[in-house]
Chain A
Amino acid sequence: MIGKDSLVIGQYFPGNGLLYSLDPRNKILSFLFLMIIIFFYKSLFSFIPIFLLVLSFIIISKIPIKSILKGLKPILMLLIITLFFHFFFTPGETIFKIFFLKLTKEGLNKGIFIGSRLIILIMISSLLTFTTSPLELTKGLEFLSLPLEKLKFPSTEIIMMITIALRFIPVLVEEADRIIVAQVSRGASFDEGNLIKRAKSLIPILVPLFVSSFRRAEELAIAMEVRCFQPGKKRTYMKRLTWKNIDTIFLIFIIIFGSLFLFIK
């Protein structure tokens, strides 16, 4: 079975607290700002306050550290490779040597610097997706990308597609789960035989999944049409986004806080 907890990237974590009450546009802007500004940091020490800030956001939003670590897992390999190359292939003062590999002082510094930046980046982005539901997120993105419409970029349509796709991922996972259970009950197994046999064993899952997805897509299309949906027309919303005072305060705070450590050498 696929298991819903394996889909951590981009997973929303229902809860409440400061971050949950902020406008998604605000969260996107603030977190994007943080993610960009840390690229201009020149010293490892600048990361410490940012790290602490992110950590305290995680704590007040009551997100288990375990889930954050899970979000870091996919980049673990990337992290290791990055560290390895920086540690051993930066010329400079040698600390110690194994065979032809020289660990240099400069390499150590640079590796840790880039590694920390990567970790903080992932933490910030998972903080955003953990505290913002996919629907809110797309709504925020749609609003922020409205200026692009002027350049004939079909942003509402694209966002609509993303919204629908996001909406149906859990449905699809559930459906796949159900079908797998049923086929396993009929004696199917997916981890036997050579590659071709394994690929073939997926047919009893994929076909019903496609059939139901097409049916769903058709039903959705009809449902949208009877509600007079027209692509490209301006949408109105039942739940409007509201920018509150706290949003302004938060955004200003983040901008000041982020810029404060820009000049630490």
Chain B
Amino acid sequence: MEIRGNQERNIAVEVKDLKYTYSKGLPYEKEALVSVNMLVYEGEAIGILGHTGSGKSTLIQHLNGILMPESGEVKVFSEKINNDKKFLKNLRRIVGIVFQFPEDELFAETVYEDVSFGPKNLGLTKEEIDERVLTSLIEVGLNEGYLNRSPFSLSGGEKRRVAIASTLSMKPKILVLDEPTSGLDPLGREEILKLIKRLKNDKNVTIILVSHSMEDVLFLVDRVYILNKGKVVFGGDTVSIFKDKDSIEKFDLSIPEIFMLGEELKKEGFDIEEPFRDVEVAKKEIIRNLK
């Protein structure tokens, strides 16, 4: 954390002039990414925003070599992604992706089996696997009581957490999440967000969050990239984008209410030092003003 804001931060992901077309050469080909440039530093959390069909999911599938660039390149920790089998295997350990509705991918008879699927594929020993399964379950707020339950007997929120745990058990350095909170109840949503924040703060995991929710973005990420029709149309830090009325309008975003509260209070003459990202900050600032 000491070196944050410094030039010497490691680059975790570098995307250069990335272009990708689905069904290339067929009459129904679809240019999903036109030209994408993106830079993510180690230990930071970035958000990817954009309308449906803007290419967010396509972009993140390039980060662990599921899709290969048509042109341009993707580097993870300075290594260019290539087709080599060994390289890809290692890459998928470093970059963990939690896809949209990850609970649909649960398959095993017990939670243990599902969460251990990744580590088993890595060829770890039984002890290591057991240890990882337990730690990742605890990380997502579940306990060992769940180990022998069937994933299909869990509630939606619990399933989501098991699915996230099954990616965490690979101990990724970069965690990519595609709309991790969609379809969850408010409580479930808050817990997932806090979990992601913990991973970032305590374990220095680099977070790439794809989201439609401005609240999630404000709460979690340092910088955002906005995609539109396969191009990055905006890149900048989270707070400044919510302050900029023009971009808000131009990119059809909405300002989270808590953030608006901070801005309004400032207008009323309150001395607000830190922009309101969540309730904690708001509470702190308001109490300081009332003293």
Residues of A in contact with B (beta carbons under 8 Å apart): 4-5, 13-14, 64, 178-179, 181-189, 203-205, 207-208, 211-212
Q: Which of A14, A182, A184, A188 has the most CB of B within 10 A?
A: A182
CA distance A265 to B97 in the complex (A): 67
CA distance A14 to B27 in the complex (A): 9
Which residue from chain B places its CB closest to the CB of A192 in the assembled complex?
Answer: B85
Evaluate contact between A187 and B104: CB separation under 8 angstroms: no
Residues from chain B with a CB closer than 8 A to the CB of A64 are 27
Evaluate contact between A185 and B122: CB separation under 8 angstroms: no
Residues of B in contact with A (beta carbons under 8 Å apart): 23, 26-28, 61, 64, 66, 89, 92-93, 96-97, 99, 102, 104-108, 117-118, 121-122, 152, 166-167, 170
A98 vs chain B, min Cβ distance (A): 40
CA distance A90 to B190 in the complex (A): 78
Evaluate contact between B170 and A13: CB separation under 8 angstroms: no
A29 vs chain B, min Cβ distance (A): 28
Evaluate contact between A187 and B170: CB separation under 8 angstroms: yes
Of A13, A178, A185, A188, which one neighbours B64 at CB under 8 angstroms? A185
Of B28, B64, B89, B117, which one neighbours A204 at CB under 8 angstroms? B117
Question: From DSSP, what is the main secondary structure of chain A's interface residues?
Answer: helix
Evaluate contact between B66 and A186: CB separation under 8 angstroms: no
Of A14, A183, A187, which one neighbours B105 at CB under 8 angstroms? A183
Evaluate contact between B170 and A211: CB separation under 8 angstroms: no
Evaluate contact between B99 and A187: CB separation under 8 angstroms: no
Evaluate contact between B64 and A187: CB separation under 8 angstroms: no
Evaluate contact between A188 and B99: CB separation under 8 angstroms: no
Evaluate contact between A204 and B107: CB separation under 8 angstroms: yes
Residues from chain A with a CB closer than 8 A to the CB of B64 are 185
CA distance A207 to B104 in the complex (A): 10
8 interchain residue pairs of minimum CB distance? A187-B121, A207-B107, A186-B118, A182-B105, A204-B107, A185-B97, A182-B99, A208-B107
Residues from chain A with a CB closer than 8 A to the CB of B23 are 4-5
Evaluate contact between B104 and A186: CB separation under 8 angstroms: no
CA distance A212 to B61 in the complex (A): 22
B196 vs chain A, min Cβ distance (A): 17
Contact A187 to B27, CB < 8 A, known contacts A181-B61, A208-B107, A211-B152: no
Residues from chain B with a CB closer than 8 A to the CB of A203 are 107
Evaluate contact between B104 and A212: CB separation under 8 angstroms: yes
Residues from chain B with a CB closer than 8 A to the CB of A184 are 66, 92
Evaluate contact between B117 and A181: CB separation under 8 angstroms: no
CA distance A21 to B102 in the complex (A): 43
Evaluate contact between B107 and A185: CB separation under 8 angstroms: no
Residues from chain B with a CB closer than 8 A to the CB of A179 are 104-105
Contact A185 to B92, CB < 8 A, known contacts A4-B23, A178-B99, A204-B117: yes
Of A4, A178, A189, A208, which one neighbours B106 at CB under 8 angstroms? A208
Q: Which of B66, B99, B104 has the most CB of A within 10 A?
A: B104
Residues from chain A with a CB closer than 8 A to the CB of B152 are 211
Which residue from chain B places its CB closest to the CB of A178 in the assembled complex?
Answer: B99
Evaluate contact between A188 and B117: CB separation under 8 angstroms: yes
CA distance A100 to B66 in the complex (A): 52
Residues from chain A with a CB closer than 8 A to the CB of B102 are 182
Evaluate contact between A187 and B89: CB separation under 8 angstroms: yes
Residues from chain A with a CB closer than 8 A to the CB of B107 are 203-205, 207-208
CA distance A5 to B21 in the complex (A): 14
A179 vs chain B, min Cβ distance (A): 6
Residues from chain A with a CB closer than 8 A to the CB of B27 are 13, 64
Which residue from chain B places its CB closest to the CB of A188 in the assembled complex?
Answer: B121
Residues from chain A with a CB closer than 8 A to the CB of B92 are 184-187
Residues from chain B with a CB closer than 8 A to the CB of A181 are 61, 66, 99
CA distance A86 to B134 in the complex (A): 67
Of B26, B28, B117, which one neighbours A186 at CB under 8 angstroms? B117
Residues from chain A with a CB closer than 8 A to the CB of B108 are 204, 207
Contact A189 to B99, CB < 8 A, known contacts A207-B107, A208-B106: no
- Extra 9 A-B pairs, beta carbons < 8 Å, given A186-B167, A189-B121: A4-B23, A181-B66, A184-B66, A185-B92, A185-B167, A186-B166, A186-B170, A187-B122, A211-B104
15 residue pairs from A and B, CB less than 8 Å apart: A5-B26, A179-B104, A181-B66, A183-B117, A184-B92, A185-B66, A185-B96, A186-B121, A187-B92, A187-B117, A204-B105, A204-B108, A205-B107, A207-B108, A208-B104
Residues from chain A with a CB closer than 8 A to the CB of B121 are 186-189
Q: Which of B64, B66, B102, B108 has the most CB of A within 10 A?
A: B66
